[in-house]
Amino acid sequence: METSSSNTDDRIRPYRIAVAQDELDDLRGRLARTRWGSEIPDAGWSRGVPTDYLKTLAAYWADGFDWRKAEAELNEFPQFTTEIDGQNIHFLHARSQNAEALPLLLVHDWPCSFVEFVEVIRPLTQDFHVIVTSTPGTGFSGPLGEAGWNNGRIAGAFVGLMDRLGYTSYGVHGTGGGAWIAGEMGRQAPERIVGIHVNGLVTFPSGDPAEFEGLTGPETERLARLENFQQDKMGFNAIQSTRPQTLAFGLHDSPVGQLAWIAEKFKEWTDPAAELPEDAVGRDRLLTNISVYWFSGTAGSSANLYYEAGHDAGAWAPKPRGTVPTGVVVALHTDIAIRRFAERDHNVTYWSELEHGGNFLALEQPEAFVADVRAFFRTLGA
């Protein structure tokens, strides 16, 4: 696979994905040699990914999924790498035919990659110059070179990337964990960022009992969803924020381990109307995303991002309220964002709610995602 050389300069280098055939052969060989364990009968998804489902998905990854087709599709978009703060940064840069279009940076969530936005890039270029980053330590940005890559440092690197591209005024979108990074970018460079659009936003109560007065029925449901998420569905965070290196051995060595680790999150974080992860985002798209993690060898470094966040005292310290105009789109059946909590921390000027979709909105509901991004930035005159 092509990688850029590690020179400490500000050059921007063209990049093309080119996974070697022996890496593809190795993946198929590992999948064929999987040692399948036992499971509790009739547990379904309650204890994790069911074995029968994973066997079917793994068989398709080995013999049905066409990585070369996916690779060619991804390579249709102009891609580049550059080094910022000692870390390789991979990004996609699709320019609009309108030279005066607003630049728009898209920041993905874990366990997604830049693949999260492939469905929306072309329609967005009608209105924006689109830049899609691979978060440091994820995908073709490659493994982390050192500790300390918390959300604030990533935000600073992305501000630096936009400077390097010559963009002094731009918008940012962030999904899930990317929303945290987008908000931090707004605090670091409020004079450059004209607006921040987010989905999958996580909001927490401050502890003031007055914040709970007068919550609507849907907001009460979201609060209960947040409590359930913290109590029942944060196992991945507990592991990745404390022992990412131990986890990495299994995920880096076993493609089925990597497959299960990511597929479970797509099951939990997509529209609950979807019975299986691929019902929400498509089987080939799901496997394209997982393949990016596998071929780039970034299971461990992407987990380390949770360690950095969990051990960054500044991440949870009180911060000044963001000043950049912020638009929030909420998927009604999955999201946990409550408007009054969001407005406490951000300058929320736009709020919309969607009946369908989940955390990976750009993959699940690309047309609705594009429409919402356009609608928000039009409120800003962009």
* Tens digits of residue pLDDT in 39-61: 999 999 999 999 999 999 999 99
Q: Are 348 and 324 in contact (CB under 8 A)?
A: no
pLDDT for 206: 86
Q: What does the alpha-carbon distance between residue 358 and residue 341 come to, in Å, rounded to a whole number?
A: 20
Structure tokens at 38: 């036992």
Cβ of 239: how many Cβ atoms within 10 Å?
16
Mean pLDDT of 91-104: 97
pLDDT for 21: 98
Q: Is the pLDDT of residue 177 over 60?
A: yes
pLDDT for 5: 40
Give the model confidence (pLDDT) of 214-238 as tens digits: 999 989 999 988 887 766 667 899 9
Is position 258 within any domain? yes
pLDDT for 350: 98
Is position 61 within any domain? yes
- Domain of 77 in residue numbering reads as 46-379
Is position 14 within any domain? no
Higher-confidence residue: 225 or 279? 279
**Mean pLDDT for the chain overall:** 94
pLDDT for 75: 98
Is position 150 within any domain? yes
Q: What does the alpha-carbon distance between residue 69 and residue 65 come to, in Å, rounded to a whole number?
A: 9
Structure tokens at 296: 């780039």
Number of domains in the chain: 1
Is position 22 within any domain? no
Higher-confidence residue: 187 or 225? 187
Is position 276 within any domain? yes
Mean pLDDT of 229-257: 89
Is position 221 within any domain? yes
Mean pLDDT of 308-329: 90
With pLDDT > 90 as the criterion, what percentage of the chain qualifies?
86
Where residue 224 sits, what CATH number does that domain have?
3.40.50.1820
Is position 39 within any domain? no
| Helix residue spans in 19-80 (DSSP H) | 21-32, 51-63, 67-74
Backbone dihedral region of 200: left (phi > 0), alpha (psi from -120 to 50 degrees) or beta?
A: left
